[in-house]
Structure formats: C-alpha cells, structure tokens
Amino acid sequence: MKKSVIFVFVAVLGLAITLLVSVPAPKRQAYVVPETSEEADWEQIRHGSSKVTFKTLLTGVVKVPVSGMLNLDNPKTLSYLQEKAASEGDLAGSVDVEVYAHWIRHPEKGDIFIDSGLDARFRNTARGSLKGLISQWIVEDSVQLAGQDILSQVEESNINVKMVFLTHVHGDHSSGLPVLPLGIPVVLGKNESLHQYPLIMYNDHFDNVSELQTLDFDGPGVLNVVPLGKMIDLLGDGSLWAISTSGHTAGHVSYLVNATDGWVLLTGDASHTRWGFENNVVPGWSEDERLAKKSLEALRTFSRENMDVRVVFGHER
C-alpha cells in the first residue's frame, strides 16, 4: 500500500475513534425562567434599586496565543501588534490573561457564580485539568498564586455556591466546577456543546455535574431590549440578566448585573480584552465570525449609551 493511503487510513480511523468514544454528557433540562412583574419596562429596570453584591475573583493567569484573543485578519490588530512590538522588543505570539469567577450574593437566592475560575490543579502544572493533544496550543502555560484557586477563595470568603451560570464551556471558564458543591445546577446557553473529544481536547469539568440547565433565548420570558437583543431576567427581580451573544461559541452568553455599587456588564469572551472591545475587533477564536461581530457591536453600543455601566471583559478588568 502507498504511504499516503496508509496515512489517510490512519487519520480517518483516528478521527472516527475520537468522535465515537465521546465522554457521556450530563442530561440537559431547560432553565425555568421566573415570572417577572408582567410588562417589564427596561428604563424602569435600569433605574431600579439593587439588592446583590458583586465581586470578581481572580483565580490565575494563563498564557494564550494572541491569535485566539484578537482576529489577526483585521488590519487594526496587525498595526496594534507591530506598534507593541516596536516598544516592547519582539512581536508577542502569546499573551498572559487573567481567569475569573464572578461572585454574586443575593439576599434570597444565596451565592451565585458566573463562570467558575481555575481549580488548584493550575498551581503547579502548566495546563491544570486541560488535557488532550491540542490543549498545549490553547493554553501554553499558567501562573496561580497560593490561595488564588477557586476553592481556597470559596472557603476564605465563606461562599456557599448555589448555582453557576457559564458564559460558555471553554476549559478556562469551567475548570472550577469539579471543586464546587455537588449537585448544584450549572446553567449554559442552549446551543452550547461540551466539546469533549478524548485525545484531542477533554477535561473532567462536567463529570460530577448532575444538573445541566439550558437558557433558551427563543423560549418564554425573553425580553427584547435595544441594543442588546434577547435577554433573560434570570432571578425574576432584575438583578441578573443573561444576554445572548453567540459567535465566540454557538451558545455564548454575556451577563448584566445590577449590583449595589453599580451596574456591571460581563462580556465573557464576546470580547476577551479591553483593546478588542474598544477597537471593535472580535476574538480570533470565533466559531461564527459574523455572529461574533454582531454580538460585539450590540455590547459596544450598549456600553456607549450607558456610560455608568462598568464593563468587565472575558479576561481583563
């Protein structure tokens, strides 16, 4: 047999095994959207009083390719990187970015997380719980100081996590799930898939998740707000909103919090960085670039029109 034929055969077989031997995913059920006070008026909601506290927890820093954070096809990105290279010496192929879990404390619903941060496995290893052949190209290295891992911070601040909402299921956002209380609901966008491919890319983040709930932006209780589009009042009292921002991933969700010290917009990885947000450059890693642009545009317009709202980017504060 010719060498090329053998190569193709092995490649196809490898792919087939990878796709077939997939990790069983937890069952999904729809997130039940609470009844809101009927005719919700957005302006009224925006100026409503707040009852939740909000804090971003830094759980470590990961080194990732610049090409993932910023779309290199955009000429603005190239000139930005060249300018940076001129001042810093060499053209950076990688960049260090922060990884967060966001903590909301609600007087009745208790402690809620948006994303889960990194667990302690990132303390002494480059990629922590991220496994598979291509994980080294996604996260090249990591730095986590003592006490920064999510469990240490949960214990330190007496956080009793009742529920986790995810922006999306990339490993740097779900890494903390295994150390959070067993049985708590984990909520994600309906179109989000877990992307668990043994050999290529996998992790154990969802192995102990028994309740996976999905947000349906075409379902009941969805509010259409200009310019953000489809939004869900997650707790029914206007304190926490989910915004459909597909593009980076199919079921990506951004969040808006009416916190006691002001409103906060969590873009998630609809924009990893401040520079990308301000310069209208979508992430290099975009499953659907057209949707990513649309989502980023909506968030940018909202931010321009609502200057009092603090913006926290996916990997930059």
Interface ranges with Zn ion (CB under 5 A): 172, 269
What is the smallest separation between the CB atom of 97 and Zn ion, expressed in angstroms?
Answer: 8
For Zn ion, the closer of residues 149 and 269 by Cβ is 269
Which residues share a beta bridge with 52? 259
Q: Closest Cα partner for 117 from 65, 68, 177?
A: 177
Give the closest residue to 291 by CA, choosing from 233, 240, 230. 230
Closest approach of Zn ion to the CB of residue 312, in Å = 13
Are residues 272 and 316 in contact, defined by beta-carbon separation less than 8 angstroms? Answer: yes
How far apart (Å, rounded) are the C-alpha atoms in residues 118 and 151? Answer: 9
* Shorter beta-carbon distance to Zn ion: residue 196 or 267: 267
Residue 172 or 192 with smaller CB distance to Zn ion? 172
Rounded to a whole number of angstroms, the minimum distance from the CB of residue 269 to Zn ion is 4
| Dist CA 192 CA 141 (whole Å) | 26
Nearer to Zn ion, 172 or 216 (CB): 172
Amino acid at 294: K
User: Looking at beta carbons, which pairs linking 263-266 to residues 24 or more positions away fall under 8 Å?
Assistant: 263/46, 263/306, 263/308, 263/309, 263/310, 264/54, 264/309, 264/310, 264/311, 264/312, 265/299, 265/302, 265/303, 265/309, 265/310, 265/311, 265/312, 266/102, 266/114, 266/167, 266/312
**What's the min distance (Å) between Cβ of 170 and Zn ion?**
5
CB of 285 to Zn ion, least distance (A): 9
CB of 171 to Zn ion, least distance (A): 8
Of 192 and 269, nearer to Zn ion (C-beta) is: 269
Residues in Cβ contact with 131 at an 8 Å cutoff, skipping those fewer than 6 apart = 201, 202, 203
Please say which residue, 62 or 209, places its beta carbon nearer to Zn ion: 62
> Min. distance of Cβ 111 from Zn ion in angstroms?
22
Q: Which two tokens stand for residue 193?
A: 């898939």
Closer residue to Zn ion (CB): 169 or 232:
169
203 vs 258, which CB is nearer to Zn ion? 203
Spatial separation of the C-alpha atoms in residues 234 and 253, rounded to whole Å = 12
Q: Which amino acid is at 50?
A: S
Nearer to Zn ion, 172 or 316 (CB): 172
The H or E element spanning position 44 is helix 42-46
Other beta carbons within 10 angstroms of residue 2's beta carbon come to: 7
Question: Cβ 219 to Zn ion, closest distance in Å?
Answer: 26
Nearest to 34 by CA among 198, 305, 234: 234
- How far is Cα of residue 67 from the mean position of the Cα atoms in its chain? 18
Minimum distance between the CB of residue 268 and Zn ion, rounded to whole angstroms? 8
